[in-house]
Structure 1
Amino acid sequence: MEQFSFIACMPDIPGALHRAAEIITRYEGNINRIQYDRRIDTHTVFFEVTALPQAYEKIREELEKIGYLQTSLHLVAFVKFHVYLPNCPGALFDLLNYITSSKSNITFLDFDDRGQHPERLVVGLHIEDPNMIDALLNQLKSRYRLDILEYDTTGEKLDDTVFYLRLAQKLRSFIGSAEDAFLMRFLQDINHITQELSNLQKDPIEIFENILKVGEYLNRTSGDNFYADVQRVRIKDDIKLFCFQPPCGGNIYLFDTPSERVMIDTGYGIYYPDLVNMLQHYELGDLSRLKRIYITHADADHCGAAGCFPVPSYLNHETFLITRETSRAYGSSNQDCILEEVYTKIINLFSRYTPPSNTVLFPEVSFSDKTTEKRGAFPVIARFRIGDMDFEALEGMGGHMHGEVFYLCPEEGLLFPEDAVINFRSLSPDRTAYNVLADYLMTSVNVDSKLAREERHALLSLISEIDEQLAGKNKKCLICCGHGSVSVLDNGKLVEYTGSERYMAGQKCISKENL
């Protein structure tokens, strides 16, 4: 027995769903999931079925024979027009003969012989074969006076009677010319997350809108519309740290030293060409000087461009596994959550996820092993140098994501706590609005919220310890957050360390350099 999924497009008549269920039952299929919501689409039903492979093929054959099985997502054209009919019996009947022969679906009719235009009928049609539009209109023009009001073959004008088809057309603008089979599987996943969130009393239309907003944000802010807020911090006379905040997603950090350049996290894959252009603007574009990338965790906005760079990426073994899995919750207590799994597919697809392929894995250690050296509450799993600075890789507790790693330079007071510590007040309204989408679609961006709170408290305690150690040097620990500004801890609050400048694609930066 195997699990299969399919989409059924059924007539909106009594007994239609019963007829489909009878076919599935006849071939001993077991329905594991079904979702139909008349508020969304009056015809589309999503099924997941467990059956023997040969039985599933019979189910598909039977459903296809009666016209219930949706096997493709052909672009449906929409046309709306005025047609002026003669005032005689059978006039509408004759018009409908033409419409029926073109295999068009009527979406709108409006006529009243006591109205302002008693001779005029308003007609709206969906036509599955766009090539039939011109033939139909030419036929009608030869017989009737016709005024074309709308003519669309892009899917923009489709109404909610074919909601999922309209959604598929919008998705194509984010993911390119995907095969119908792939797009239909993707619709299955999106429907699944909608089913889960609807059970949590969230509006299904709002869910779809937020999914589309993710893709729209990423596409709208790449290319010519790309920008970043940039902080430049001189760590030593010959070492500078750049913090790049892209429009969406996590921060990208770059150390510029006399001997090499080293990156911590890479941002989304969709921003890779924009990132290269930005590095060139800051005279950091010689990628031959980039020697290593250190990854904090497996989210697409932190390592989704790592595979684009021709250098090794250093990461935790568990992080490596998550980059190969279908769910960001892999390895956590929440790993079976469908919201986490589907969101991972959505964001990886929309953001052109290109995870690290040239990898170097940190040694595996046991978090509970009492013999393991620790820095505060966190095991030290590796050491490395950037320029002449000594760093430690600290294994996180897994509150935000399983396999997460923090990077610390104790002597200089540099801590990279990824998304476990964020200066939310430093986020722009646009970035906050984008981040809220992930929180909405997963209900929480942390795979274990309780553990995330414990982890953040432990990190703030570690930061306070480092501040005490640096007090004699008149320095404070620089907190290089996963999102938002590089900050310091001041009376228990995160405060922006330096001002930033705005880089805009094709334009000069705004504001002064902060060196």
Structure 2
Amino acid sequence: MKKFSFVAHMPDTPGSLHRAAEIIKKYEGNINRIQFDRRIDPGTVFYEVTASDSSYKKITDELAFIGYLQSSLKPLDFLKFCVYLPNRPGALYEFLGFTTSAGANIALIDFDDKGRHPDRLTVSLNLEQSAIVDRLLDTLKSRYRLEIIEYDKTGKHLDDTVFYVRFAQAVRDLIGESEDAFLLSFLAETNHIAQELMDRGCNPHQVFESVLATGQTMRATSGEHFYADVQQFRITDTATLFCFQPPCGGSLFIIDTPKERVMIDTCYGIYHHDIMAMLSRYGLGDMSRISRVIVTHADADHCGASGFFSAPVSMHHATLEILRTNNRAYGSRSEGSVLEEFYTKMVNLFSKFNVPADVECFSAPTGITRGIFPVIGSFRIGEIELEVLDGLGGHTCGQVFLYSKEYGLIFAADSVINFGSMTKERADYSSLAAFLVTSVNVDSDLAKQERVALMALAEETDRALAPSGRRCLICGGHGAVSVMANGKLAVYGDIMRYEAGRDS
């Protein structure tokens, strides 16, 4: 027995759901999940069933035979026009006979004989086959005066009676042409998280809008619209730290020395070409100088471009497992969450995640700790030695932090973020993830412990550096590089703006 999922598109008539359930029962299928909501789409139903391979085939064959099984998501044509009807009984009835014969689904009809145009009927139609559009228009033109207001073949102007077709078309716009089977599977998974969030009181339309907004915001801020906030710090006489905040997602850091460069996190894959152009602007464009890429954790906004680099990529073994399972909640108490699993797949898809081929995992704990964090490795870049601290698994399992007591550096990943330094646009984008998974941390209790311990480590390091007049720089996964000030985070240093195609 296996679990299968499929999408049904049923007539909006009494008994349709009952008939489908009868077919599933007939072949001994067990329904594990069903979701239908007229507020979203009055004809589309999502099923998950447990059945044998042979039973599932019989179920879907019979559903297909009666026209219930949805196997394609071709965009429908949309036609909006005005037709001038004669003022006599039966005129509307006769007109509707032509649209019904054409297989047209009326999305809008508007007529008022006391209005500004008492003889004009406005109609919007969704047509399932583009070939019939011309025939319908020819038929109507031969009998009525017509004015075409809009004729759309992209599926962008369809009404909510074909909501999932519209949604699929919007996804196609983001990822390019895809097989219908893939899109149907993606729709089923999106519907599943909508069902989960509706159970928690969320508006289903906000779920679908947030999914699309995630991909649309990435695309809208790439290419010529890419920008970043940049900070630069001299750490030693020969080492410089750069922080680049892209429009969406996590920051990218580079420690530059005369002999080598180390990159810490990589941002989204969709930004890779934009970031390469930006790095060239700051004299960092020679990728052969990058000796290592260090990944703090598995979220796509931190490691999604790591596969583009030829240098070895270092990460926690649990981070590698998250990439393998495609589930950011792997290894946590939230591992079974449909929200976390879908979000991982969705963001990886929209952000063009490029999985690294050459991966080196950090070692086992050395027996040394920094505060509550075990040391599981170290790297030297010029004079700077960075210890790798093993996190508790609050934000994601396998998230690590990098620390140098001597030079006052803490790369805190997503456990310490100066939210006050984030622009409204970045905060709005981050809120999409918070809505879709309800919390960006897979274990909020552990995440709080990590944050408190890292800030305590920063204050301890500040005290040790005080005689030299230097500060401990907290390099969070988002927002500006900051320092501790009266127990809170404060932006440190100047912030420059980079814009694609412009000088800083």
- Coarse TM-score class (shorter-chain normalised): over 0.9
Given that 1:317 and 1:364 are in contact with CA atoms closer than 8 Å, whether structure 2 keeps it comes out as no
Q: Deviations along 1:465-494, whole A, 9 cap, x unmatched?
A: 211221222111111111011111111111
Note if contact 1:394-1:408 (Cα within 8 Å) is conserved in structure 2. Answer: yes
What residue in structure 1 maps to residue 381 of structure 2?
386
Equivalent-residue separation in structure 2 for 1:407 and 1:114 (angstroms): 74
How do 1:428-443 and structure 2 match up within 5 A? 428-443=423-438
Q: Distance in 2 between matches of 1:354 and 1:28?
A: 42
Aligned 1:71-90 pairs, distance under 5 A: 71-88=71-88, 90=90
Query: In the TM superposition, what whole-angstrom CA distance separates every residue of 1:136-169 from its partner, at most 9, and x where no partner exists?
Result: 2122212221111111111121111111111111
The structure 2 residue matched to 1:476, chosen from 463, 471, 476, is: 471
State the 1:284 CA deviation.
0.9
Match of 2:454 in 1: 459
Question: C-alpha distance in 2, partners of 1:474/1:385?
Answer: 24
Q: Which moved more, 1:129-138 or 1:492-501?
A: 129-138
Which residue of 2 is the match for residue 426 of structure 1? 421
Distance 2:58 2:49 in 1: 13
Distance 1:71 1:34 in 2: 17
SS in 2 for 1:236: coil
Q: Match of 1:372? A: 367
- Which residue pairs with 1:512 in the alignment? none
In the TM superposition, 1:308-319 aligns within 5 A as 308-319=308-319
Contact 2:229 2:244 in 1 (8 A): yes
Match of 1:155 in 2: 155
Kindly state the Cα deviation for residue 95 of structure 1 after the two structures are TM-superposed.
2.9
Corresponding residue for residue 103 of structure 1: 103
Residue 64 (1) aligns with residue 74 (2)? no
Cα RMSD, aligned residues only:
1.4
CA shift digits 1:295-352 (9 cap, x unpaired): 0000000000000112110011111111111210000111111111111111111111
Deviations 1:49-93 (A, max 9, x none): 000011001110111111111100011011011112334555444
Residue pairs, 1:86-485, within 5 angstroms: 86-88=86-88, 90-113=90-113, 115-365=115-365, 372-485=367-480
Q: Distance in 2 between matches of 1:392 and 1:311?
A: 20
1:487 aligns with 2:482: yes
* Letter aligned with residue 329 of structure 2: A
Query: What is the TM-score normalised by the length of structure 2?
Result: 0.97
CA-CA distance at 1:99 after TM superposition: 2.1
Q: Is the 8 A contact 1:329 1:401 kept in 2?
A: yes
Per-residue CA deviation, residues 210-252 of structure 1 (Å, 9 max, x unaligned), is 1111111101000000000000111112211110000000000
Aligned residue type for 2:369: K
Amino acid at match of 2:476: C
| Structure 1 residue 32 corresponds to structure 2 residue 32 | yes
Q: Distance in 2 between matches of 1:116 and 1:416?
A: 67
Which range is displaced more, 292-301 or 205-214? Answer: 205-214
- One-letter identity of the residue aligned with 1:352: K
Q: d(CA) in 2 for partners of 1:326 and 1:242?
A: 30
**Percentage of matched positions with identical amino acids:** 55
Structure 2 gaps of 5+ residues are none
Q: Displacement of 1:116 after TM fit? A: 4.3
**What displacement does 1:100 show?**
2.8
Judging changes above 3 Å, is the alpha-carbon distance between structure 1 residues 476 and 113 closer, same or farther for their aligned structure 2 residues? closer
Between stretches 113-122 and 375-384, larger displacement belongs to 113-122
Change (3 A) 1:470 1:10: same
Letter in 1 for 2:465: L
User: Amino acid of the residue matched to residue 470 of structure 1?
Assistant: L
Looking at structure 2, the residues matched to 122 and 376 of structure 1 have their Cα atoms a distance apart, in angstroms, of: 71
For 1:87 and 1:229, the matched residues in 2 are separated by: 65
Unaligned runs of at least 5 residues, structure 1: 366-370, 510-515
Distance of 1:413 and 1:36 partners within structure 2: 55
Note if contact 1:298-1:323 (Cα within 8 Å) is conserved in structure 2.
Answer: yes
- Please say if residues 263 and 290 of structure 2, whose CA atoms lie closer than 8 Å, have aligned partners that are also in contact: yes
TM-score under structure 1 normalisation?
0.95
Give, as a single letter, the amino acid of the residue that structure 2 aligns with 1:429: K
Secondary structure of 2:75's counterpart equals coil
Give the 3-state SS of the residue equivalent to 1:499 in structure 2.
coil
Whole-angstrom CA distance in 2 between matches of 1:221 and 1:114: 49
Question: Residue type matched to 1:405 in 2?
Answer: V
The superposition leaves residues 151-189 of structure 1 with CA deviations (integer Å, 9 ceiling, x where unpaired) of 111112111111111111111111111111101100111
Give the drift of 1:120: 2.4
1:117 and 1:480 map into 2 onto residues whose CA distance is 65
Query: How far apart in 1 are the matches of 2:53 and 2:445?
Result: 43
**Distance in 1 (alpha carbons) for counterparts of 2:173 and 2:280:** 29
Match of 1:497 among 492, 495, 498: 492
Give the distance between the partners of 2:93 and 2:263, measured in 1 at CA.
71
